[in-house]
Amino acid sequence: MPLNILRLKHVTVVTTKKNVKALRRETYTVDFIKKQIEEFNIGKRHLANMMGEDPETFTQEDIDRAIAYLFPSGLFEKRARPIMKHPEQIFPKQKAIQWGEDGRPFHYLFYTGKQSYYSLMHDAYGKILDIEKHKNQLQAKGLFSEKNKTIDLIGSRWLIKEELEEMLVEKLSDQDYRQFVRLMERLLQSGAAEEEFVQSFRRSVTVQSKKQPIEPVQRDAQGMAFSTSEGKRKSAKAEAVVYEHGSGRIKVNGIDYLLYFPVLQDREQLMFPFHFLDRLGKHDVTCTVSGGGRSAQAGAIRLAVARALCSFVTEEEVEWMRQAGLLTSDPRVRERKKPGQEGARRKFTWKKR
Amino acid sequence: MDSVGTMLKGVASLVSRVRKLDPGHLRLGTQAPQSLAAQLDNQVSFESPRAISCTNENDPAKHEEKHEGLHYNLPLQDVKTVFPHGLPPRYAMQMKTFNEACLMVRKPALELLHYLKNTNFAHPAIRYVLYGEKGTGKTLSLCHIIHFCAKQDWLILHIPDAHLWVKNCRDLLQSTYNKQRFDQPLEASVWLKNFKTTNERFLSQIKIQEKYVWNKRESIEKGSSLGEVVEQGITRVRNATDAVGIVLKELKRQSSLGIFRLLVAVDGVNALWGRTTLKREDKSPIAPEELALIHNLRKMVRNDWNGGAIVLTLSQTGSLFKPRNACLPQELLGKEGFDALDPFIPIQVANYSPKEFESCIQYYMENSWLQHEKAHTEEGKKELLFLSNGNPGQLERLCAYL
């Protein structure tokens, strides 16, 4: 069994003299990469045999599961655990040597420094010119129909700078990236001809971060419809039961909220979910809370009440609540005190001598 | 009717200024505005608020259930005589700001008034105890009762806050009358002054029936008026506590005779049976019995006399060594106090009902106390209701910010 599945091969770094070749850090030659890929595939088949599965249909997820099973690791950092992936994902993408034996570069834009970027820009501009020429010809012939086939841009976004860099295997600056985006948008405006070309530079954004808080729909007990949910804030835990039809009375741990929270600020926190949904006097709440301080308990109850109200309210209003921040639990916790400092951030008094 | 209607139409556009200038024109009786409001559609919002929240009925004796939730005006002259020291400080500030004293008629007060009107003066005095959460209006209900009794020409013995007598006392003298007890000259003299302002006309009528000796040189003969005792107490501060004791004893004795009717009104009565913060010179604590004022007051509050009534209020705000959420008579009075007061009629003072709350908000709006734009809207009122939960004290503090 090849033992070099998991070892990352360290190639000696050529750092001594500053010449153009040496500025490239770890050079993995094309042959080296090819060999790694062969070894990976062989190793994959061996692994499949070991696990008793079919080597032909052994996917990357199966590999991950097998490695986690064979080499269980207690390390907290996920990236430090043993991995076995295709060499293309492990070794960073390298450019092949750009010039031939006589020293002449292959690409015509090599001496710009960012050859693939400039070639891409050049191609895109060429496409724009083509489209305009085509349009002019149609107009001259009179066959130009104003079909504005706009490409659907909703649900997708342009590549971010890092993704573009990765695609071109070149470092870009911010201005370069902005130019690129402007050129792409101009291409879109001029016509809907080059769809695939443009779409290759867009990624979909359909992942909406809504829909995460799934609230349990209301339950019935004794004929009263109510819903329960919990909330936490800074070591205070609260559980709230919101009844659908009520007169706006709130009881905390069996005590009226006016007596439990004598401070106006806490009561305002309790009022916020109801006020936001315009349902001030319509619900009754009974809740239990423990831990934390006065303000933390108020925040915990507010979160619990907002989550419970979700089940009585339309989806649009749930989205509004989420945007208002009523449904996110506050991640701020007390920061730990560090040694050598007086508090979490405060340092000891600095003495010059 | 029509002339009043047209006058109102012209006046309604200058409501806020005209209201202050001649309130008499705009204050209609309770029955009239309902019909007028139906006729004047656009001026309803200006005119009916005043009628919704205020009545014309200034005599507490005539207050009935239909006046519940409405404010009635106390003439300022009355306020000065009847309440020289009785009003809670926040209410006194509000009175000064609005330049008028308006009190809301509420159910506990109405209940008490009903009982008082039907008291049989031959029976021993009945004790009524007003209790409730903090800020629900116990002291102001007491003031309402006192106003009623003053109008009915009773003699009013009003102790504004019994807690003031058991804490923060500067000088304590050993009593001349009884060596065990302590005197509080300052508090006693202040109280005597206020008592004099309230009950001027009675002081010359009542004659004391015993001879009291102040010290070797001064004494008071039998048959001289109570006024002289009070004067003596005010001028000679050292004997003020004893003067108070004499006043209380005489009043108790003589109220049974039927010449006058006596109302004993004590606010914060749980101070009489709690602990004190006062200490002797050797730092040992003083029990309330050892204070002469408290001792006499306890005798007063016992129902072994007839010809009047005793109205008491519990108060946690000024109380010493009692937890914040204690509001029931058992908790605040302690076992001793509860036993001493035992056959009493408890009357609970609760938060505002929705109607009362509405009326209170209207009252504030008429006096232009709520300046916030949203305060006039329905949502604003709902917010205020939620934040204060109908508690009058909290509502007042909230509105002070707006």
Range of the domain at B389: 354-400
Q: At what angle do helices B185-198 and B226-235 cross, to 10 degrees?
A: 140
Q: Are residues B205 and B130 in the same domain?
A: yes
Q: Are residues A131 and A199 in the same domain?
A: yes
Q: Are residues B90 and B202 in the same domain?
A: yes
Share of chain B above pLDDT 70, in %: 87
Q: Both tokens of residue B13?
A: 């556009």
Q: Is residue B209 part of a domain?
A: yes
Q: Are residues B377 and B326 in the same domain?
A: no
When divided into structural domains, chain B yields a total of 2
**Sorting pLDDT into bands at 50, 70 and 90, what band is A144?**
low
Nearest chain A CA: its distance from B244 CA (Å): 39
CB contact under 8 A, B379 and A278: yes
CB-count burial class (<10 Å; 0-12, 13-18, 19+) for B212: buried
Q: Are residues B260 and B374 in the same domain?
A: no
Q: Is residue B253 part of a domain?
A: yes
pTM of the predicted model over 0.90: no
Q: Are residues A262 and A294 in the same domain?
A: yes
Q: Is B319 left (phi over 0), alpha (psi -120 to 50) or beta?
A: beta
What CATH number is attached to the domain comprising A294?
3.30.230.10
Residues of B with CB under 8 A from a CB of A: 133, 325, 379, 382-383, 385-389, 391, 394, 398
Q: Are residues A161 and A123 in the same domain?
A: yes
pLDDT in tens, A55-71: 888 889 999 999 999 99
The one-letter code for the residue type at B369 is W
Nearest chain B CA: its distance from A284 CA (Å): 12
Residues of A with CB under 8 A from a CB of B: 248, 255-259, 264, 267-268, 271, 274-275, 278, 280-281
Q: Are residues A176 and A228 in the same domain?
A: no
Examine the pLDDT at A5 and tell me if it is beyond 70: no
Nearest chain A CA: its distance from B277 CA (Å): 26
Q: Are residues B281 and B211 in the same domain?
A: yes
Q: Are residues B217 and B276 in the same domain?
A: yes
Q: Return the pLDDT at B254.
A: 81
Q: Tell me which of A250, A264, A265, A301 to substitute to probe the interface with B (most B C-beta atoms closer than 10 Å).
A: A264
Q: Are residues A178 and A222 in the same domain?
A: no
pLDDT in tens, A160-194: 888 888 888 888 999 999 999 999 888 888 876 77
Q: Is residue B168 part of a domain?
A: yes
**Sorting pLDDT into bands at 50, 70 and 90, what band is A287?**
very high
Q: Is residue A258 part of a domain?
A: yes
Nearest chain B CA: its distance from A240 CA (Å): 18
Q: Return the pLDDT at B111.
A: 85
Contacts with A259 from chain B: Cβ below 8 Å: 133, 325
pLDDT in tens, A238-259: 999 888 888 888 899 988 888 8
Q: Are A261 and A301 in contact (CB under 8 A)?
A: no
Q: Return the pLDDT at A236.
A: 92
Q: Are residues B91 and B154 in the same domain?
A: yes
Nearest to B387 among A271, A278, A281 (CB): A271
Q: Are residues A227 and A316 in the same domain?
A: yes
Contacts with B325 from chain A: Cβ below 8 Å: 255, 259
Q: Tell me which of B331, B383, B389 to substitute to probe the interface with A (most A C-beta atoms closer than 10 Å).
A: B389
Range of the domain at A68: 30-89
Q: Which residues of A313-325 are buried (b: 16+ CB within 10 A; e: fewer)?
A: beeebbeebbeee
Q: Are residues B251 and B128 in the same domain?
A: yes
Examine the pLDDT at A6 and tell me if it is beyond 60: no
Q: Are residues B300 and B394 in the same domain?
A: no
Q: Are residues A225 and A312 in the same domain?
A: yes
CB contact under 8 A, A274 and B386: yes
pLDDT in tens, B2-21: 544 444 444 344 444 434 44
The one-letter code for the residue type at B338 is F
Q: Are B320 and B167 in contact (CB under 8 A)?
A: yes
Q: Determine the average pLDDT of the residues in B314-319.
A: 82
In angstroms, how far is CA B369 from the centroid of its own chain? 24
Examine the pLDDT at B275 and tell me if it is beyond 50: yes
CB-count burial class (<10 Å; 0-12, 13-18, 19+) for A161: middle
Q: Is residue B45 part of a domain?
A: no
**Cβ pairs bridging A and B (under 8 Å):** 33
Q: Is residue B48 part of a domain?
A: no
When divided into structural domains, chain A yields a total of 3
DSSP H or E run through A175: helix A174-190
Q: Are residues B330 and B389 in the same domain?
A: no
Q: Are residues B289 and B388 in the same domain?
A: no
Q: Is residue A101 part of a domain?
A: no
Nearest chain B CA: its distance from A283 CA (Å): 12
Contacts with A267 from chain B: Cβ below 8 Å: 386-387
Q: Is residue A291 part of a domain?
A: yes
Q: Is B125 left (phi over 0), alpha (psi -120 to 50) or beta?
A: beta
Q: Return the pLDDT at A288.
A: 93
CB-count burial class (<10 Å; 0-12, 13-18, 19+) for A281: middle
Nearest CA to A47 out of A80, A78, A10, A83 is that of A83
Q: Are residues B339 and B364 in the same domain?
A: no
- Using only C-alpha atoms, what is the Rg of chain A? 31
Q: Are B161 and B267 in contact (CB under 8 A)?
A: yes
Task: Give the mean pLDDT of chain B.
Answer: 77
Q: Is residue B134 part of a domain?
A: yes
Q: Are residues A222 and A318 in the same domain?
A: yes
Nearest CA to B268 out of B330, B300, B315 is that of B315
